[in-house]
Structure 1
Amino acid sequence: MKTKTTGALFLLLELCGVSSGLLKRHFYVNVKKAWADARQYCQHYYQDLSSFTDSLEETQFLNDAGAQSSNAWIGLRREAGVWMWSGGQNASVMSSGEQNVNSNCVFVKKSDQMLYVDNCSGSHAFFCMTTYAVVQENMTWEGALEYCRQHHFDLASLNSTTKMDAASGQMNQAQTQLVWVGLRFLAGRWFWLSGDHLDLAGSSGFPEHQCPAANLRCGAVDTHKKTWMARDCEEQLGFICQ
């Protein structure tokens, strides 16, 4: 970020953070909301409000921020005097001027792409992000789940067309046409690991009846057709983590 405007916030970023293997992509949402409402929107349609914790991630954010047409929230706020990203990481922040003690949420100003603080109830557009990593090693669904939870966060819940589109570029790296995602049939229903139910009416590749065959109870994505599929949980497929 640029660094010479009174009242702006400056992030002290690592020159090169420890890579998680996850690629962050950022999306400008030109709908004005309060910070908490913006975060809820991002968590539903993407993953969270945007964050960047090292210089490489900042560069990616700035590359993706070209569509910004107004001031926009990011996932940085002050809680009990501590600056934190929405994902829970602490942030090192300096101020170039006095800040309103009632202003605790951060936005990117359109005119100079610098960070400023505002009351969290204020209304701004916002940046959402997605983070995905395709693992090229083939595993069963349970093996993929264990791998993602050990090395990343979870198997990816691609529970909207927006998330599917955001992950499409990463999917092309897979060595198998089908890749496991965080979709499973248990206790009489299909559900995403995020907790959302699967809308069967909009899901080609799934049987019309609610209960699939006993060996077709794990969810995969066809990387060519971009559709969800019910597959045998013991198949060896690539997979996508978040």
Structure 2
Amino acid sequence: MEKVLLIIIALSGLSAVSSHAERQYHFVYEAKNMSEAQRYCREKHTDLATVDSMEVVELLNNMAGQYNQSAWIGLHDDWDTWRWSMSDPSFYGPGETEFRQWGPGEPSNGHDEQCTHFHRSGIWGDHDCNNPLYVVCFDVTGPNATFVLIERGMTWTEAQSYCREHHTDLASVRNLADSQRIESSAGGVYWIGLYRDSWKWSDGSFSSFEYWAENEPNYIGLKVCVAAAFNNFGKWEDLDCGVDKPFICYGPVPVKPDMTPEPAVSTVPVVPVSMKVIKVSVENPNGVDLNDPAFLDAMLVEAKKNLRAQGLDDNVQLAWRKQPDGQVFHEEEEKKRDEL
């Protein structure tokens, strides 16, 4: 027989609130998938949380309190948003920013394929931005463009820097005529200016701040959404967007009648949190590793069902308490077993 501690965290409300600078964060303990969480945040507040500094990370960790699992934030991997390095809207006619000549099966939207190459046949493909390829720059005068082919291998970032220094930018291919002009001189595979920024925040904002856990993102399966893991200091992990989890919204900080914003300080979460520790004894079934993560998860699911049958609501969170050696279950000593 082995014994372990099962922690039950009971949350008596639906959300906790803290403020930081111009944003007020709302920790919602009701579990939803990413799309449902995003819809809730946009209806009730502004959007899913944008985490763009260590100060915000620390605030959210304080809000989480004794909640030691993960919760959705607004970061997701946007496979379909492609845009041109040359961003001046006056250069493009109607529909020209959306002109594409993808080859069969392209773009494949691989996580490491975020830049576009132009094959001498005129067909495009998405490609690893770090591979060295030839380059198509262009010089822009009003609505007109002169294409310049550089047959020297560069990464996409190096190509963009080179083209912006010596010409106008990496080439935009706006229509079939532009494509045919490049094809007429092309002799290989070239970078053009179309690329995508993979990770984006739900509210459309951009930030270079990252707080990934070790070996994350790991891109296994359909993991294109991000949660903050509060059993790991709020570090980020990529997960399947369809998983139901608590989530964090943000909205504007309330303004006082004299139009003076509330002080930008962290506040204690308004949701009372209680924790109960229950000892669980289990007879070891033949050949079953009681510390196997799959077995532990299955036991939590069954425990949650039993608690729900006893009238406890879904705000109750369950977690195993690990011992200092990282294991959950330990075999009892003979003396203690006899006492039982």
Confirm or deny a common fold (TM above 0.5): no
When Rg is computed on C-alpha atoms for both structures, the one with the higher figure is 2
How high is the TM-score relative to the length of structure 2?
0.31
Larger RCO of the pair (alpha carbons < 8 Å, separation 6+): 2
